[in-house]
Structures are given as C-alpha cells and as structure tokens.
Amino acid sequence: MAIAFQSATDKWVKCLSGTGTIRAVAVSATEISNHLADRHNLTPTGRKALAEAIVAGLILSSYCKSGEKVNLNIQSSGWSHQTIIDANSTGEVRGYVLERAPADIQLARNIGPWGIGLLSVLRTKHDDAQPYIGTVPLLTGHLAKDLTFYWLQSEQVNSAVGIEVFMENDRITIAEGFLIQAMPGATEADISLIEEHLKKLHHFDSSSEIRSTPTRLLSYLLENQSFQLLEEQPLSLKCPCSLDRVKRSLTLIGVEELESMLAENKDFEIDCDFCSETYVFSPVMLGELLREMK
C-alpha cells in the first residue's frame, strides 16, 4: 500500500517582486521531516541531514512544471554515505539517508558537515522526454551553498539558497529553506538589499516570528519591496510502494535465487528504502510467484 502523510502546516510559498525581477520560494517541512525520520529511526545527526535534504528537494521541485519530478542524490563524506530525495510539482516528497557512523566522519578544515562528494539532480519530465541530470561537486560541505553553486552552473541563474534546521531534545523544531533568484532586469540595488537581509538572517533563532511561516520569511527577505504571492502549496509525504511493486522487484533476482529462498521455508521481510514500510513474503507467496515466472 502507498504510504502517505499530509502535514497540517508544511507548505511552500512562491512570490514575485512587483518589478518582476526577483522571484522567490520559501519552504517549511518540519512535520514531514520528523514523521519520515521517525519511520527511519534515525539518530539526531541523521534527522538533521534528512531534514536539510527534504527542504532542498522541495525547493528544487517547487519550480517543476505540472507532472515533472526531481531526484536529489547526495553522495558525501560527511553526515551520510548517500542521501536520496524524490519530490514533485505537487509538493509530494519521500527520501532516505544512509547514515555514516560518527567515528567515521572525517572532515577537512573549513568543510561543512556534508563533507565533500557529489550532488546530482535528475529532472524527469511528464512527457517521457529524456531526463535531464546535472551534477556538481560538493565544494563547501554546506548544502545550501552547494545548491547555490548548482543553480549557477547548471541553470546559469544568479541564486541564493538558505536551509535551516533547528533541533531540541533530538526533535526537529524547524526545517525551512528558501530560494531567491535574480531575473533579467534586476538592478544592483535590488540584489544588494536582499544580500543585506541574508547576512542578518542567522541572527534570528527558532523562536523568531520571521521563522514562523514561509510567508513571514519571504516578507523579511524582500523587505521594502512590493511582491505578489503566486502560490501556496501544502506539502505531503507520499511513497507509492506496494506489495505488487515489491513482487515485481523480486522477479528481477531470477528463478534460481527465488528457489533458494523458498527452500529456507520461512517468511522474508522486505523494507522500502524510502519509507521503511515492511512487506512480508511467506513461502506460499514465494511459491506462487515462482509458478507465475515459470
């Protein structure tokens, strides 16, 4: 069965400046991040990594066209071996983190918690056209900074990305982020004003009103500029895994391997990487699957 969780508060909000030269999106994904981290039974470090990646994936998907989706793949030397996030144009997201043991995390000086590695974004279009993939190195180990580099390299758009995750008692209290992009016609004054607000943002802790909603965050970032709200999209966790999908996956391992499993005469549990839902295959079910394959 598909796993779904609809948040009551998580959303993204998109806006455009009155001059049409600055566009922005702000994302709040606190409830979804906690819910998925609970399902994966992550450590506090893993929870923070997952929350940052979820916010990043949703920022990437917020400008997808209808029917499109993105896959964010982070292979790194820091918090995780690999982190994968799927997100689409309707605000649905899923993902997982392959945590690295704290003792195995070795970071060079001035490198952030993600370490070095690769950041890849796969964009899949609704019309079955050839997917587009963009890959950039993790240069700073800070996900927001490396995403900024991704937009500059792969999309040739001057952008600023921010991602903040606050935690208390091993729970995520805020998982939020934003993307601001300078469109053609943006003036140096427009950009300088936003840069000044970005520099001051870290002074506002998790209790600040500025961090209470995506709209308030955008109001601060674009302060003294008129802007129009374009979209407010509720966000949800959704994983389309099912027993039938797992059965199709089992057929790929071949008849010989399935016969070996059947010979053990026991139940086999198979977990979905993305949502940790467990599917149980009994010897009877494996036997039926073998007969279908033969």
Look at 242 and 154; give whichever has higher pLDDT.
242
Q: Do 243-293 and 3-239 fall under one CATH topology? A: no
For residue 201, the model assigns a pLDDT of 80
Mean pLDDT computed over every residue of the chain: 90
Instruction: Assess whether pLDDT exceeds 90 at residue 19.
Output: no
CA-to-CA distance for 133 and 124, rounded, in angstroms? 9
pLDDT in tens, 102-154: 888 888 888 999 999 999 999 997 666 678 899 999 999 999 999 999 988 88
- 17-26 burial: b if 16+ Cβ within 10 Å, else e: beeebbbbbb
Instruction: Please report the pLDDT score of residue 56 as a whole number.
Output: 98
pLDDT for res 105: 83
pTM: 0.92
pLDDT in tens, 25-39: 999 999 999 999 999
pLDDT per residue over 53-67, tens digit each? Answer: 999 999 999 999 888
Parse the chain into domains and list their residue ranges: 3-239, 243-293
pLDDT digits (tens, 9 = 90+) for 200-226: 787 777 778 888 899 999 888 888 778
Percent of the chain whose pLDDT exceeds 70: 98
pLDDT bin (cut points 50, 70, 90) of residue 2 is: low
Q: Please, what CATH class does the domain formed by 243-293 belong to?
A: alpha beta
Give the CATH number of domain 3-239. Answer: 3.55.30.10
